Structure formats: C-alpha cells, structure tokens
Chains A and B, each alone.
Chain A
Amino acid sequence: MPQVDLKSVRPYGDTLDDGRVQLGFTLPIRYGPEAKEAARQLVIKMGLESVDVVSSHDLGGQFTYFVVYGKCTHSVDVTSLRVPKVQVEQMDFFKINDLIRDRLGRKITVVAACTGSDAHTVGIDAIINMKGYAGEYGLERYPWFRAHNLGAQVPNETLVAKAIETDADAILVSQIVTQKNVHISNMTRLVDLLEAEGIRDDVILVAGGPRITHELALELGYDAGFGPGTLPSHVAAYIAQELIRKEHRTSPDLGEER
C-alpha cells in the first residue's frame, strides 16, 4: 500500500484515498423516483461525490429508507489531533490491590449509582458487583475497595448524601439513557451539588456509559469518563492511581516512587 499522508486522511474502501463511505437513513417522504433523487441530492450536500443510491425501500406511509454510497471529499489532519485520554497504567486485580495496600495503606471507598431517571444498572453492576463482567471481578470483590452500589434511579441528592456519609474517595455515575441529552443535565447537576456541598475536590468523580467519553466527562467537570468496553480493572486502576497521585500531591512523604 502506498504511504498514508497523515496530514490528509480520507475514508478507505479498497483503494487508498478513494474516500468511499456508506450511509443508511430515512426520509419522511413517499417511496419513488423523487425520493431517490432527494436522497442523492441530500448526500451531495453532505460533501460526498459520485453518489450512488444503491437501495431504497418503502417503509410504508410517508417513509423511504436508503442505502447510499459516495466518495468523501474531505480529509483529516491526524497529526494535529489532541484526544484527552484517561491517564492510567493498566493493572490486574492483584496488582491493583497490592498498589493500594503498599501506597495508600487503607481501603478506598467508592459510591456508585445510576442517577436520575436511569433504570439501567447493567453498566454499573458490571463494574461494581461481586461477579463483575467478562471474566473480571467487580470492585466489591477487591479486598482494598469498599464499594457501595446504590443501584437504579438514584437522585443526585441521595448519591451525594451517601458519599458524605461514607466519606467516599470516589463517586461513580452510570448513565445509559441519553435520549434528549437527559444525561448531560443530570451529570451537570451532580457537579453543582458537590460544589454546593464543598466536597467536589475531595472526591474523584467518574462517569461511565455507552455514550460517555473522557472528553465529555472532562467538559462536564468530571475527573474521568469511561465508555463501552470498560472493565472493572480499568476503573479500579484509575481510581487507585489517581488517589495516590492526589494524596501524593498533598502529602509528599507518603512513599517513594517505584
């Protein structure tokens, strides 16, 4: 394959820089030649060339569904990108527990919940609950973690109260329902509450969910965000390392770097 120009990267179909992309979408218009032409013109406006409406289907009533191919005329300069990533050294269950024992010398308390109207606990359960996920134990199984999973539909107020009551080191918020951006306002509200209580800087605030990115989490005032595919050890390692970093900053005598 010829050398990829990282300053100008385009979609790859079967030839470098062919720019081929596929789209699937519906227009709220009746099926027919006009609908097909409308789809074609719309895709041209999206910045694609050589547009082919390869398939169109009558969805009944006022809807037509299209599969469209085109050539993307735009490119991206990959060398100029800066993507925020959670700063963490990956570790396993045993290493994380050893790290906490040796460097912190006390258990880490975390409180976790699906907040607001969100009833989907599958994500938070995978991270916290004893049995964990994908062959990994959840935080409840970590001897050096004290984990409280408050479950579904927990008001932000309750979560904050629990964090204060348990003197939590970290708060984990899971948000799965994102319709109408309900997660954004809900997550922002938690930060406001923590600030009002004067404890925002006392906790590591972590968000997780299928639509959560680290960048979004940072933007909303969180310390970290974890997206799909996150394993319990990712979160545990991050919290342990971040807490050690934090305490190191405030008490430099804690220990030697290893």
Chain B
Amino acid sequence: MKLDLDISKIDRCRECASSIADQVMEHVRSVTTTSCERAVLRLLGVDGVDRAGVPLPNVVVDIAHKAGLLPDGIATYMARAVASTGLSPQQVAEKVALKQLDLASFGSAPVGGERAVVSGAVSASLGRIRENVAKRREYLSRLDSGTEPLIYVIVATGNIYEDVEQAQSAAKAGADIIAVIRSTAQSLLDYVPYGATTEGYGGTFATQENFRIMRKGLDSVSAEIGRYIRLVNYCSGLCMPEIAAMGALERLDMMLNDSMYGILFRDINMKRTFADQYFSRMINAYAGIIINTGEDNYLTTADAYEEAHTVLASQFINEALAHRSGLPDSQIGLGHAFEMNPEMKDGFLYEVAQAQMSRDIFPNAPLKYMPPTKYMTGDIFRGYLLNGMFNLAGVITGQSIQLLGMLTEAIHTPHVHDRYLAIKNAKYVFNNARHLGEDIVFKPGGIIRQRAEQVLGDTVRMLEYVRDLGLMEAMGEGVFAGIARTADGGRGLDGVVARSDTYWNPFEEAMSEQLGLAASADPSRR
C-alpha cells in the first residue's frame, strides 16, 4: 500500500458494496431475460439464421416468449422437444423457425429424465470452453505473455479482414491486446448479427464468425512474433450473455463487461442489465475471460476531479457483483481513466493519486487504465504529449492494462500509423520509467496522499448512501455520471421475465457448481 490509506474505510466500502450487490442479486435470481435464454440456446449449439436473416436463437426465444414459456427456461422446452423428437437442439430450432414444430405442444409434464437428453450438448459446450481455457494457458506458458502495463489498442475498420491486417501490424509493433470495437449502435440491437461482416460504422460488428476470423489472425501473428496476443470484444448492450457465450466458444481473452454501463450510457433497462450482467459474467468467469469494467465513461460526462469518488464507488460495486458471478479478482479488470483537465494545476499529481489508489485498493485486479479523450482537441501534437503523461502515470502506478490513447482522438477512428505512434510512445515511456514506481515513496501529508484519502472518504459516504437507498433507487437520482435512470425505464424491459419455481438453465446450474457458487444457485437459498 503505497498510499497508506485508512484500511477501515476500505473495509467499510467493501461491506457497503457487498450489501448493495446482495440487494441486486435478489432481483437477479428472480428473473431471466430473452438474452439469457438466447445465450442458453447458443451454448446448446443453436446457430445460424432463418430465411429472413433473423438469428435462430432470436426466432426460437421470441416464439417461446410470446407463448409464455420463458418462466421455465428455454432449456426446459428444448429438452422436451429433443426427448420426444430425437432431433438435435439445432434441428429443433430450425423446425420451430419453419413452424413445423410447436415448443408449447410438448406440454408441462415434469422434466426429470428429459433434462438428461440435452446433457450431451451441455457438456460438449462446457468442454469446448474448458479446452479454450487450457489452450490459452498453454499459449501463455509457451509464448511471451507480455509485460504489464499490457498494451491495448483498438481496430475499427468495419471490415473484419482489414481489421486482421491492422491488428497484426499493431501486434508486430508491440501491442499485447487487440480490441475490435463494435459498429456504432450494436449495443442497442436485440440480436447478434450473423457471419463475417465487411461493412460497419465506427467499428466492426461482433459476430461469432468475426470472432473466429480475428482469433485465427491473432494466433497466427502470436506464433510469428512469439508473444500471445489477447483478443477483446464488447460484452455489453442488450446481448451481454450471448456475446459472452460466443466469446467463450471462440477463445476471446477479455470482454468489456460492466454491471451498470448499459443502464447509464445506453439507456438499457436496469432490471434487464442486472440479470444479463450476472449470467454473462458467469460465462466469462468459466471461460477464464478477464472482464473490463467501464468506470472511465463516467469521466467523459462528469469532471474527473469532482467525481473521482463515483469511479471508486463503482469499482467496489463492480467487484462485489463480479464475485457473485464467480469471477476471481484476477479476472476483474476494473476501469478508470486519465481525464483530468490538463489546465489544472497539479492535475498530474491527482491522476497519479487516483491511479495509485485503485492499485492499492484492488491489488490483484488487472486494472484497466483508459486514456485522455475528453480534452483531446484535434491538436495531435499536444494530444501525443497528453498520452505520454498518461503512459507515465500508468507505469508509475502499476496498471495492468493500458488502453493507449490515440493522437487523433476526436478526429477519426485510428489510422494505422496513429496506432503505431501510440505504441512507440507507450513502449518508450514504459521502458524508460520501468521501475520508477518502485523507487518512489509518496510523501506523508503530501498532495497525492491527501487526495487519495479524500476520494476514499467521499466514496465511503457515497456507498453508504447508495446502500441505504438501494442501487436502483440511487441510479434514479443520477448518482453515477450525473445520469438518472428509473427501474422501469429504458430499453429491453419487455425481455425480462419472472422465473417460475421450475425454471431451469443447465449452464447456470453447471457453471455455478464448478465455480463454487452452488450454494447461491440452490433454490432454497433464493
């Protein structure tokens, strides 16, 4: 603990966050969502689209939703259909889409033995995910696993094949992590597009085929340069659990997967998001995928100095909820950002204080540090210097994942040389100041320590307030990012369904057990 923070305050924050998470979990355990059920179908092997191009998981879940079948879980009806027809889940889905099979017709007989008929599909999927975990581990032990702060860059051409070229170029220049940013507005699509895509706006669609193409491209460049290149996508929006399922199956390494981002910044309904984040994070936990939380976004709308405590409060809440999905600390990449106004006197000291505070409070989390965006003006030369200062703060404070700033931020999606220059900047600073953090002691009573203690104090008060009010109510008051959301507002509420007593999700069941969460999955504990 370089800042010698008041441990009792940190403990109080964790206790509050834990109570807050328990409140959220009461809701989470009482419902399922269309997107969770679609994820179940995907994990059962249902893929492809119907004649109109609608993904089969959507077709089947929409039909089941209209027929009022979702309270029992789609797996219940899929198991019955498989048991009585002898078809595979994929074949059942195809026949349902063609209206040759009616899921409701399989009645509401007790399940019991019928569940066993899909156990092969369940264990095949889980087996494939565990193989991916083993393969990643093997790569990381055989190849260079990178040095922290890991260098994270974004590609976003809209064309997955072009993305692969740019990603490989970035990897050769020194990038450790490649994120394929999604096409603008994909987060608001209530389905996951299908197949390889070559057209997108502001990014490239997240599809399972695109995941596979990029994974292959990165594996090939990893072998060539002897360093494992990690792949990231966005497990956010209306399809969180489905994207998680696809990422687990295609060996993504990280996922943006925040518990509140969609509610605040995409106006997605909170009951929907809380349920979706729970199951999506469980899948990520099982797949060994590091989640990245999105606290940095608060500071793009709110002031980084004034609202620093909201970032820390959200980190505690994200941590508590992630633990409830079975994520270990080593897979909880809490986020924060370098967004202080550059005109501010001693602003760099405050940045260092806040970054070091995150490191001290979450010692085992692979912290993700986000670059300046708010004060990037199009003056690329000044922007390049801001990014250099950001990189210096990152290496001094021992950040794990450094999402590199682009000098052309606020102008366009990065050009190939923007990314190259960003990597050169980071490598220079990281190498040149490699052990500076270890050599520095922050002066007791100095600006940095005082600032961190102040933010921690504000965070205790905020978390106590949120705990007393309840998270959903507090979000109604706009405590995060100054954005107010109500429990029944926003998109996607129509996809939230109360679970019946006989609700069944074989993946939640199996993963809970294997992640050591079995007690909380026990219906008697609900």
Contacts and interface: CB of A to CB of B under 8 A. Distances in A.
Please indicate whether A and B come from the same complex rather than being unrelated chains: yes
Interface of A: 24-26, 57, 59-63, 65, 117-119, 121-122, 125, 129, 131, 151-153, 177-180, 182, 210, 228-229
Contacts of A179: 158, 201-202, 412-413
**Which of A25, A177, A179 counts the most B-chain CB atoms under 10 A from its CB?**
A179
A177 B171 CA distance: 27
Given A59-B420, A61-B169, A228 B377 contact: yes
Interface stretch (B100-108, B180-188, B363-371): B180-188
A151 B267 CA distance: 9
B301 interface: yes
Interface in B118-173: 158, 165, 168-173
Contacts of A229: 377
Contact of B417 (A25, A122, A131, A152): A25
Contacts of B378: 210, 228
* Chain B interface size, under 10 / 10 to 19 / 20 to 34 / 35 or more: 20 to 34
Given A26-B417, A122-B301, A60 B374 contact: no
A26 B415 contact: yes
B515 interface: no
A229 B376 CA distance: 11
Nearest to B171: A60
Nearest to A25: B417
A182 B417 contact: no
Interface in B265-295: 265-267
Given A65-B420, A122-B301, A179-B201, A59 B169 contact: yes
Interface of B: 158, 165, 168-173, 184-185, 187-188, 201-202, 265-267, 300-302, 374, 377-378, 410-413, 415-417, 420, 482
Contacts of B185: 117, 119, 153
Contact of B202 (A25, A121, A177): A177
A210 B408 CA distance: 12
Nearest to B491: A153
Contacts of B187: 119
**Which of B184, B267, B415 counts the most A-chain CB atoms under 10 A from its CB?**
B184
A122 B299 CA distance: 10
23 contacts: A26-B415, A57-B420, A59-B169, A59-B172, A59-B416, A60-B169, A61-B172, A65-B417, A65-B420, A117-B184, A119-B188, A122-B300, A122-B301, A129-B482, A131-B302, A152-B266, A152-B267, A177-B201, A177-B202, A179-B201, A180-B201, A182-B201, A210-B410
B477 to A, nearest CB: 14
Contacts of B410: 210, 228
A121 B417 contact: no
A125 B301 contact: yes
Nearest to A26: B417
A122 B374 contact: yes
B416 A26 contact: yes
Contacts of B412: 178-179
Nearest to A151: B267
Contacts of A182: 201
7 nearest CB pairs, A to B: A60-B172, A117-B185, A65-B417, A60-B169, A117-B184, A26-B417, A177-B202
B164 to A, nearest CB: 10
B377 A59 contact: no
Contacts of A118: 184
B202 to A, nearest CB: 5
Given A177-B184, A179-B158, 18 more contacts: A25-B417, A26-B415, A57-B417, A59-B169, A59-B173, A59-B417, A59-B420, A60-B171, A61-B165, A61-B169, A63-B417, A65-B416, A119-B187, A122-B300, A131-B482, A153-B185, A177-B202, A179-B202
Contacts of B172: 59-61
Contacts of B415: 26
A61 B482 CA distance: 45
B301 A119 contact: no
A122 B187 CA distance: 18
B378 to A, nearest CB: 6
**Which of A24, A59, A63, A153 counts the most B-chain CB atoms under 10 A from its CB?**
A59
A26 B408 CA distance: 15
Contacts of A151: 267
**Which of B170, B410, B416 counts the most A-chain CB atoms under 10 A from its CB?**
B416
B168 A61 contact: yes
A31 to B, nearest CB: 11
Contacts of A59: 169, 172-173, 416-417, 420
Contacts of A177: 184, 201-202
A153 B268 CA distance: 12
Contacts of B168: 60-61
Contacts of B301: 121-122, 125
